[in-house]
Amino acid sequence: MKFDQYYLECLSHASPLIGDESSSKAVVVDAERSRKAYLDWLNVQEKSLSGAPPTSGGMSPLG
């Protein structure tokens, strides 16, 4: 399992990105609006995004 956390200092907002080694799938929880960091991580880790559930009741910016 791979884990990385993205933190927006100005909003005190953390978004964990968790990747499963066996399935090559990943999920990002409560994603921020900028997708580049997540997509770069997925590319480097050779994973595909399987979900991006919001935790604040809003829409996820990743789909």
- What confidence score (pLDDT) does residue 20 get? 87
Tell me the per-residue pLDDT of 3-37, one tens digit each, with 9 for 90 and over.
778 787 776 778 888 888 888 888 887 766 667 77
- What confidence score (pLDDT) does residue 33 get? 67
Q: Phi and psi (nearest 5°) for 23?
A: -100, -10
Name the pLDDT band for 54 (thresholds 50, 70, 90). low
